[in-house]
Chains A and B, each alone.
Chain A
């Protein structure tokens, strides 16, 4: 999928959608709902990016095991998003640091770049707060969770 606004393969205008994730994964339904909506947006050939800030960074931690709480562990689904052309995960560095997390504490999420001989590349990009603010402003539609 091109970064430029243009026409989708199915016709119509491609807009830049940013999904803003600010909630931890299991205490509320926000994170799971966001994931569902991201998949819908991707199915419509839109230009999709994800932002993770505040408690939203907890969605991406390694080693989640929900066996004891009777809920589905949906964290593996983030690693499948690359197959749906969802390849940009912007994670706010300050939010990680405030919560005692390091980049290594996050899952390895990658995608295969079709424009670069299907080379496997990281989907997660650490960005500082000011950069994330700029990224927000560059999107046509912001969906907040």
Chain B
């Protein structure tokens, strides 16, 4: 039983990312999408929050949302995995349920 956690709000505006990280468990995955992708920028408080995750919780970033916001991959915190809409669907299918941190 594992969850796909989805964060679609900027970590600089809400506590969604912090709450998500506080509830994710080993075997779960996190997907940053929409304004949630601002959490992928390196050298920020958001990066510190993600750094607190164990390696057994992968963090994915939806690339089209990054591109839309002009965030090049080079600016991103280490350890994140880019994905696209097909990858998004795959993530949704390999976990038994999803939780949206609105």
List A residues at the B interface (Cβ < 8 Å): 20, 22-23, 30, 53-54, 129, 132-134, 136-142, 144-145
**Contacting residues, chain A, for B19 (C-beta < 8 A):** 22, 53-54
- The verdict on B2 contacting chain A, using a C-beta distance below 8 Å, is yes
- The verdict on B42 contacting chain A, using a C-beta distance below 8 Å, is no
- The verdict on B97 contacting chain A, using a C-beta distance below 8 Å, is yes
Q: A144 and B99: CB pair below 8 A?
A: yes
Q: A140 and B100: CB pair below 8 A?
A: no
Q: Of all chain A residues, which has the CB nearest B100? A: A144
Complex: how many Å from CA A84 to CA B28? 32
Q: Of all chain B residues, which has the CB nearest A28? A: B102
**Contacting residues, chain B, for A53 (C-beta < 8 A):** 19
List B residues at the A interface (Cβ < 8 Å): 1-3, 15, 19, 22-25, 28, 96-102
Q: B102 and A137: CB pair below 8 A?
A: no
Return 26 A-B CB contacts under 8 Å, by A number. A22-B19, A22-B101, A22-B102, A23-B102, A30-B102, A53-B19, A54-B15, A54-B19, A129-B22, A129-B23, A133-B22, A133-B23, A133-B25, A137-B1, A137-B2, A137-B3, A137-B25, A137-B28, A137-B97, A138-B1, A140-B97, A142-B3, A142-B98, A144-B100, A144-B101, A144-B102
Complex: how many Å from CA A129 to CA B22? 8
Select A134's contact among B22, B25, B97, B99, beta carbons within 8 Å. B25
